[in-house]
Structure 1
Amino acid sequence: MELTPDLQEKKQFLIAGLKRTYKGQYDAIQPLPYIKDRLYCVDKVFVEGGVEVCLAPELTRGIGSWERLESYKSIYTDFRFKSKRRIIRGEPGYGKSTLTLQLAYDWCNNVSDSPMNNVEILILLRLRQLGSVKSLYRAIKSFLLFHEPRVSKHEIEKIIHSCSSVHIILDGYDEYPGRDSNDNDDVHRIINMELFADSDVSLTTRYLPGCLRKETKRAKLTGFDDKARDEYIRKAVVSNNDEAVEEIKQRLYENSILADLCQVPLIFVMSAHMAHDQRDLMKFKSVTQFFKHMIRCFYDHLKQKFKDNRSNEFYLHEMEHRDLDKIAFEGLNKKNQQLSWIKTGFRQRVGPESYDQYILIGILVEEDVVSDDSTGDNVLFTMMVRFYHKLFCEWYAAHHLVTLLKNTHDLSDILRFLDPFDLQYLFRFACGLDPDAGKKLINHLKRLRGGDKFAILCILEQTGDVNDIMDSVKELCSRDVIIWEGDSALLQRSTTQLLEIASKNHIPIYRVDLEYCSPRVDESGLNLILESGLSLSILSSLQKLQIWDDRRLTNEELAAIVSYSSQCTSLKELTFVGYHMPDTIPVGSIPSSLKSRHVKVWNFSSVYRRLNLQTGQWQTCDGGGNLPGEEEFDEESYQFSLANFNRAKLK
């Protein structure tokens, strides 16, 4: 559509207005919420975490074929991922919104190698702000061009439809007030390709919307690996000071309990800045202890900022927060969780003084949302308030949960909508805050499918002493430990943490069975990354490792897994079930430690074969599972693997 000269001019106003809004957003990155005068441009702190994409149509078991990308840019440039609709998934704190701000920065600054470089107009909307707004054009006017009176809603529509290249980014579908509704609003019409079908659209979310078209491609953010953590420290904390980088890493990694939390980029970022600012960062034995310390840091910074008679007032609010606890608990204990509230009612419930402090400290964040009272072009805003991160909501909700558990033995009503597989830290915090409440929760968890492993972690949270869970860990590791691709993220995370606790305490791990988790070895060669994004570090006490899949392994992938396995110094057997293997593996890539320990490497696919460690060739075994000329044989292991192979064929 050809624009009139007047609209051509207004198009320039529109683009300039968008860039002005985005600059205000991407120039205000705040790694530590309680230090409001330390703001960063997103390009100065953005670090690429893991990104994986589903490159194939839905295959067997309905999971598709996932592959790691080198860069977020490949989401838009990889020809195998070509589509007009892209879903970018990630857990809370994994950097979905930060990624969208980096894309906005790229567009505003004409970054030459960015996929946004040739986009004529970029629309970035935070869906949680939309309230009752159903029109895309009204949302653009209300949130992105509120300071530009020269362009109307109707002119925005004409201009956008005249553009040859429009990219729309809808950030945070899981926080969208109209999510999963049957309303025929523009957001759902866009997702379902009924609106802007020829435009590129990216949607970030924790979970998949119900109205997806088959053309929609899926990507997921898997968190920070060691390389990304190093890069962030260098880029945003110490400016390439090698000595300072190592000091921060040492302070962080001597806290083994932080290893799990530091996979979450948002938590790692806060931890890295705290480790840099505090030379005497204490050691933590539980995530409860760490979070309590972090809240204390928030308040200590505020006390130092106001060196007057308000210290006692700050201390009182730090210790007494029952109203905030109750609101947080009520928000989480619903079928559809409530993560934001109208400011006026919220402030009244917690008290004006407490509220102002929570905002000042950074525990709470205010945000404008379009009011339900808006009509036509008369846009009204309501100030909403939310926790800085859902983890903070879980922290305060855990305090109220403890209070409720002290006064009842019937957990069914209290825990009605509290899913431990979604709110794992709520349960861990509650167990760490109060021993008696913890016992009730642990007994409840043990009755859930897969809850026994999480219950063990909650025991550790409760006591802070690994010795208190040693009997449970020993019992768990004495049998087959299975990690399946269909397990929840919580169950996988609990299992991997317990395996690492066992290894560090020299507890023998009989066998680990990875079923369709598509493991790959990271660049360091020290971690096995599962499809879920979780990692399994070197397990020195692991005796047998069995990996299931039905895909084809390359020479490089096979060599990497073999190399990783060789570093598990107690390993006796490595078994691949269902894989299509290269005919040979270069002898030079077979670690000498495997040969000296006579580790058996099996492959059960169409035939039963073992890897000859001397020649690098797969050889068919005899009836007893021996290679030609070999006498020594473990009958129990062979029969176990053979039974698993037959089970795989039945699947």
Structure 2
Amino acid sequence: MELTPDLQEKKQFLIEGLKRTYKGHYDAIQPLPYIKDRLYCVDKVFVEGGVEVCLAPEPTPGTRGSWDRLDSYKSIYTDYRFKSKRRIIQGEPGYGKSTLTLQLAYDWCNDVSDSPMNNVEILILLRLRQLGRVKSLYRAIKSFLLFHEPRVSKHELEKIIHSCSSVHIILDGYDEYPGRDSNDNDDVHKIIKMELFADFDVSLTTRYLPGCLRKETKRAKLTGFDDKARNEYIRKAVVSNNDEAVAEIKQRLYENSILADLCQVPLIFVMFAHMAHDQRDLMKFNSVTQFFKHMIRRFYDHLKQKFKDNRSNKLYLHEMEHHELDKIAFEGLNKENQQLSWIKTRFRQRVGPELYDQYISIGILVEEDEVSDDSTGDNVLFTRMVRFYHKLFCEWYAAHHLVTLVKNAHNLSDRLRFLDPFDLQYLFRFACGLDPIAGKKLINHLKGLPGGDKFAILCILEQTGDVTDIMDSVKELCSRAVNIGRDDSALLQRSTTQLLEIASKNNIPISCVYLWHCFPRVDESGLNLILESGLSLSILSSLQKLWIYDRNRRLTNEEWAAILSYSSQCTSSKELEFGHPNDFGFGEGYILPENIPVTSIPSSLKSRNVKVWNHIGIDNYHRLNLQTGQWQACDKRGNLPGEKGFDEWTYKMSLSKSK
């Protein structure tokens, strides 16, 4: 549709108005919320973390599907495998979804030549949490992006957008959208279902997938900061190219073993990096609870430095007593549909004006406008809302109330029915770290949930005090297979490896460690198994079985020898298994060398007669003869004739397959 000269002019007003709004957003990045005079442009602090693209969706619930790593966030829009009009960008809290959208807005506003936004005529970026009950996209654009531009009406806006050859819509934070997963036929859901703007490119950021996705929607996932990204951020946003300062911050990070992996989460790493640079006496942390407690203390310390009277003592009292804030945070999370923002006047009344003003000054709380439910037609009204700086802060304060509730509750399942541990992992971890009595009850509660054992690992490691306090839990968890999967976060992987190391050091038998798609290799020392995530698994003297599965990966002779060497040093090991039979009976997994040099087989494996075997195909199982280096048929459990549990039928099937 060709525009009239008048609308052509208004199109320029529209573009200039959008750019003015976006600049106000991307020029106000605040790495440390309590230092309000230190603002950055997003381009000065944005660092690319890991990005994966889904090539094939999960065949069944709970499985991973097929994912591949991308070189850059730009590939989300340029990789031919990701060609689509609808894109979902997933990521856990703190993984930089909103920061990525601001970088895309910066690229568009500044005509960055190699950006996928370079040839986009109009970019529309909306924060879904602000939309309230606004059902019309045009109304949302006018209310939030063009509130300072009276020369373009909502009606003209619609005509201009439909005349453009290239429009890209970014909807940020579906998981915080007040109308998420509802049956309302609003524009947001119409867009997701491609019932509206089917020819426009749309990107949606979210923690979880909407239930109304079309099958042609492509998915990407932000996987956080690796060591390279952390180095880049330190240089770019903290110390410039001061090599000595970079090394000092990294040293402080590696001294805090639990944070070395927590800092895969960009939000946490950014705060840690700035704090490590500003504080010469930064303490060591054994848990994320300790780190958050220290961080909140720094928020208050910064404000105390501004006061030289008795207000400093009052601030300390307020720092320790925040019961009403805890209760509000918990009430918001303990709902079927979580509440993450509140009307300012009501919130301020509940916590008290003095405390409220302090929370705002410190940076724990943030104010912003949302469209009011009282709005009608073109008469858009706004309500001043308040939210926590980040959902992690909401979980921190809610955890304090959870501790009180758990200690006094008789039926936890009923009281916590709306709290999903896998959605609110930090809430549970903080609570376990804050109070050992409540932590023990929560851990027992988690163990009763499907898949809860794995999450309980995180909470066990948040417990303060002597390791002996958690030995019973460690023994119970290690009595069955401990899984480490590629789909697990680096944090969960590290917590799991810490659990295993605690068990090994205390001579607790580890029945089995199952590495699923972790692409393990052995480091040069031969003392650590390095996972695909970069995390390491040290030699576990009490490990009885190591089971490795990586679909159709071919092991080199060197890799094979290294894994055999690692297994031999796990002095309690009885079994080393590769591959896995799937639901249809197909054995899939490593493709191992046909002939194994006897010299590469450690003598300790031979002396202990460790069972080394592999799934090769349908009813095709082979076991390594440690004396000759030759493979020979075995049954589906790796047993040979005469051994306990031998299955003659599957052995004969395997024997026939090997001929």
TM-score tier (shorter) = 0.7 to 0.9
Q: TM-score, normalised by structure 1?
A: 0.86
503-512 or 125-134, which deviates more:
503-512
1:272 aligns with 2:273: yes
Distance (whole Å) between structure 2 residues aligned to residue 561 and residue 136 of structure 1:
57
Distance 1:496 1:176, change over 3 A: farther
TM-superposed deviation, 1:316: 1.9
Q: Which amino acid aligns with 1:537?
A: S
Distance 1:460 1:624, change over 3 A: closer
Secondary structure of 2:482's partner?
strand
Secondary structure of 1:68's partner?
strand
**Structure 2 matches for 1:528-567, cutoff 5 A?**
536-541=535-540, 544-548=545-549, 551-553=551-553
Q: Identity of aligned pairs, percent?
A: 79
245-254 or 601-610, which deviates more:
601-610
**Structure 2 matches for 1:343-492, cutoff 5 A?**
343-455=344-456, 457-474=458-475, 476-477=477-478, 479-483=480-484
1:605 aligns with 2:616: yes
Distance (whole Å) between structure 2 residues aligned to residue 329 and residue 564 of structure 1:
47
Distance (whole Å) between structure 2 residues aligned to residue 583 and residue 452 of structure 1:
33
Distance (whole Å) between structure 1 residues aligned to residue 122 and residue 318 of structure 2:
46
Match for residue 334 of structure 2? 333
Match for residue 629 of structure 1? none
Q: Which amino acid aligns with 1:43?
A: D
Distance 1:501 1:258, change over 3 A: farther
134-143 or 284-293, which deviates more:
284-293
TM-superposed deviation, 1:510: 4.7
399-408 or 453-462, which deviates more:
453-462
Match for residue 576 of structure 1? 579
TM-superposed deviation, 1:561: 8.9
Match for residue 44 of structure 1? 44
Verify the 8 A CA contact 1:332 1:418 in the aligned structure 2: yes
Match for residue 221 of structure 1? 222
**Structure 2 matches for 1:108-119, cutoff 5 A?**
108-119=109-120
Match for residue 206 of structure 2? 205
Match for residue 160 of structure 1? 161
Match for residue 188 of structure 2? 187
TM-superposed deviation, 1:7: 1.4
Secondary structure of 1:149's partner?
coil
TM-superposed deviation, 1:209: 0.7
Match for residue 294 of structure 1? 295
Match for residue 306 of structure 1? 307
Secondary structure of 1:621's partner?
strand
Match for residue 14 of structure 1? 14
Distance (whole Å) between structure 1 residues aligned to residue 400 and residue 177 of structure 2:
27
Verify the 8 A CA contact 1:285 1:464 in the aligned structure 2: no
**Structure 2 matches for 1:621-632, cutoff 5 A?**
621=632
TM-superposed deviation, 1:623: 5.6
Distance (whole Å) between structure 2 residues aligned to residue 209 and residue 121 of structure 1:
25
Distance (whole Å) between structure 1 residues aligned to residue 595 and residue 376 of structure 2:
71
Q: Which amino acid aligns with 1:570?
A: Q
Match for residue 628 of structure 1? none
Q: Which amino acid aligns with 1:145?
A: L
Distance 1:475 1:446, change over 3 A: closer
Distance 1:503 1:536, change over 3 A: farther
Verify the 8 A CA contact 1:421 1:488 in the aligned structure 2: no
TM-superposed deviation, 1:333: 1.1
Deviations 1:155-179 (Å, cap 9, x if unpaired)? 1111111111111110000111111
Verify the 8 A CA contact 1:126 1:172 in the aligned structure 2: yes
**Structure 2: 5+ residue stretches without partners:** 581-586
Distance (whole Å) between structure 1 residues aligned to residue 4 and residue 377 of structure 2:
26
Deviations 1:581-611 (Å, cap 9, x if unpaired)? 5686999xx9x98768769875412244578
Q: Which amino acid aligns with 2:632?
A: C
Match for residue 4 of structure 2? 4
TM-superposed deviation, 1:356: 0.7
Verify the 8 A CA contact 1:285 1:465 in the aligned structure 2: no
Match for residue 584 of structure 2? none
Secondary structure of 2:214's partner?
coil
Verify the 8 A CA contact 1:521 1:560 in the aligned structure 2: no
Distance (whole Å) between structure 1 residues aligned to residue 274 and residue 282 of structure 2:
11
Distance (whole Å) between structure 1 residues aligned to residue 346 and residue 504 of structure 2:
50
TM-superposed deviation, 1:455: 4.0
302-311 or 535-544, which deviates more:
535-544
TM-superposed deviation, 1:488: 10
Deviations 1:366-394 (Å, cap 9, x if unpaired)? 11111111122221111111111122111
Distance (whole Å) between structure 2 residues aligned to residue 209 and residue 624 of structure 1:
45
Distance 1:10 1:293, change over 3 A: same
Deviations 1:139-161 (Å, cap 9, x if unpaired)? 11111111112211111111111
Distance (whole Å) between structure 2 residues aligned to residue 364 and residue 637 of structure 1:
62
Q: TM-score, normalised by structure 2?
A: 0.85
- The number of residues matched between the two structures is 629
Distance (whole Å) between structure 2 residues aligned to residue 3 and residue 101 of structure 1:
30
Distance 1:391 1:593, change over 3 A: farther
Deviations 1:428-447 (Å, cap 9, x if unpaired)? 22233233333332332333
TM-superposed deviation, 1:129: 0.6
Deviations 1:273-305 (Å, cap 9, x if unpaired)? 111111111122332222211111110011113
TM-superposed deviation, 1:401: 2.1
Secondary structure of 1:168's partner?
strand
Distance 1:175 1:636, change over 3 A: farther
Q: Which amino acid aligns with 1:94?
A: Y
Deviations 1:535-585 (Å, cap 9, x if unpaired)? 652332256432335x433679x9779868866773563623344656869
Secondary structure of 1:282's partner?
coil
